[in-house]
């Protein structure tokens, strides 16, 4: 297998890991106004992701860095053409991170309320815009012969991409509700379980519509098979959430996200950014990649450091595996 293909697959794995882990972070932030009816409840919800949210964002940094090093042409076109949406995501992530750190710095209801709003908005915006961005990548954008994006911002707000944004929003929110039910006990566990059941019913038609549209537009056999597997995993989450089998339900929503990202990258290959002007103008794993020597050096670095990162992050989740309840939160 060529190194260009290897690195395309590795970048897909990094994005799948990011959506799997950061997805429930976003979901918890979006659900904060719903599950956090008082200060202790809000602190309980935030504490479920407190030890891991910043570590989960490392997957995004590595995915961006790997794209820059392995496919610089793809990185340049993506970040110039999608500059405004990516800037909005970046600002939202910064505001969200600051809110987590600052909401407890002062003992004031208004102070905490403002930072709680920042957590909600900082979670909501990326949850939508990541789906819009990947929907446009899969659909194709206006690239000219120089591989430069010649469309406008509103060209990115097409119906297919907006449906992609709605799909990631409902999937992340469902993933977050299941995670809260898995990580808490008592009233919040029961409330999060009910929310997960309701959200799963809403997520199925939205995700099914997006997958059906994708299947009609792209006839790749592996992509359709992976999309079908993602749909089955999402359907499995419905009875699991109702039966309060939170661990299995979280595995089902996690599998949905992993399989959906896998379907996206498999369908996209060998393109990395298709052109809607002329297929000959599309960026592919071949014309967008770095030199073979660069890819070889990157491969050795990845072989050495990736297991270390995975072991450390796995250890972090093991240490903070205990369920939390309101009695753990001091008055």
Output the pLDDT for position 106. Answer: 83
Instruction: Find out whether the peptide bond into 255 is cis, omega within 30 degrees of 0.
Output: no
Structural domain range at position 52: 3-328
Q: What is the pLDDT of residue 1?
A: 65
Per 3-state DSSP, the chain is made up of helix, strand and coil in percentages (nearest 5) of 80, 5, 20
The residue with tokens 């661990």 is 247
Task: Give the Cα separation of 130 and 132 in Å (integer).
Answer: 5
- Quick one: which of 266, 257, 286 has its CA closest to 171? 257
pLDDT digits (tens, 9 = 90+) for 193-206: 889 988 988 898 99
Give helix 3-35 / helix 246-268 axis angle, nearest 10°.
Answer: 140
pLDDT tens column, 1-32:
688 999 999 999 999 999 999 999 999 999 99
4: left (phi > 0), else alpha (psi -120 to 50), else beta?
alpha
Rg (Cα) of the chain, in Å, rounded? 20
pLDDT higher than 80, residue 327:
no
Nearest to 223 by CA among 179, 177, 270, 273: 270
What average pLDDT does this structure show over 251-260? 93
Whole-angstrom CA distances from 13 to 3, 77, 303 are: 15, 21, 14
Q: Can you give the CATH number for the domain in which 23 is found?
A: 1.20.1630.10
CA distance to 29, 115, 173, 317, 320, per residue, from 312 (Å): 24, 30, 26, 9, 13
Q: What is the pLDDT of residues 130-161, one digit of tens each?
A: 999 999 998 888 888 888 888 888 888 899 99
What is the C-alpha separation between 196 and 35, in angstroms, rounded? 12
User: What does the block give as tokens for 55?
Assistant: 């570590």
CB 178 within 8 A of CB 246: yes
Q: What is the pLDDT of residues 34-58, one digit of tens each?
A: 987 788 888 899 999 988 888 888 8
pLDDT tens digits along 267-276: 888 889 998 8
Tokens 């008082």 belong to which residue? 38
Contact 203, 180 (CB under 8 A): no
Percentage of the chain exceeding pLDDT 90: 38
**Model pTM score:** 0.93
Summary mean pLDDT of the chain: 89
Residue 163's pLDDT band (boundaries 50, 70, 90)? very high
Average pLDDT value for residue range 221-246:
86
Domain count, the chain: 1
Bridge partners, residue 184, by sequence: 324
Average pLDDT of the residues in 85-114: 89
């Amino acid at each position: 297998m060529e190194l260009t293909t290897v690195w395309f697959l590795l970048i897909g794995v990094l994005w799948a890991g990011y959506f799997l882990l950061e997805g429930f972070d976003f979901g918890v932030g979006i659900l904060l106004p719903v599950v956090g009816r008082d200060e202790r409840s809000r602190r309980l919800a935030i504490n479920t992701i407190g030890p891991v949210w910043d570590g989960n964002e490392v997957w995004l940094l590595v995915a961006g860095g790997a794209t820059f090093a392995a496919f610089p042409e793809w990185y340049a076109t993506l970040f110039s053409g999608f500059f405004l949406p990516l800037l909005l995501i970046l600002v939202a992530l910064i505001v969200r991170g600051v809110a987590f750190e600052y909401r407890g710095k002062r003992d004031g209801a208004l102070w905490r309320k403002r930072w709680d709003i920042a957590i909600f908005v900082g979670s909501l915006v990326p949850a939508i815009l990541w789906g819009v961005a990947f929907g446009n990548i899969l659909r194709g954008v206006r690239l000219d012969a120089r591989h430069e994006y010649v469309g406008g911002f509103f060209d990115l707000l097409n119906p297919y991409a907006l449906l992609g944004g709605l799909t990631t929003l409902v999937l992340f929110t469902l993933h977050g509700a299941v995670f809260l039910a898995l990580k808490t006990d008592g009233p919040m566990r029961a409330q999060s379980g009910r929310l997960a059941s309701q959200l799963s019913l809403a997520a199925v038609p939205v995700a099914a519509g997006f997958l059906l549209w994708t299947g009609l537009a792209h006839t790749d056999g592996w992509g359709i098979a992976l999309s079908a597997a993602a749909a089955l995993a999402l359907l499995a989450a419905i009875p699991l959430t109702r039966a309060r089998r939170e661990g299995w339900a979280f595995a089902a929503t996690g599998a949905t996200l992993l399989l959906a990202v896998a379907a996206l990258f498999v369908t996209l290959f060998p393109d990395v950014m298709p052109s809607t002007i002329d297929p000959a103008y599309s960026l592919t794993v071949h014309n967008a990649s770095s030199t073979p020597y660069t890819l070889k050096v990157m491969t050795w670095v990845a072989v050495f450091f990736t297991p270390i990162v995975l072991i450390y992050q796995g250890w972090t989740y093991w240490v903070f595996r205990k369920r939390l309840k309101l009695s753990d939160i001091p008055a």
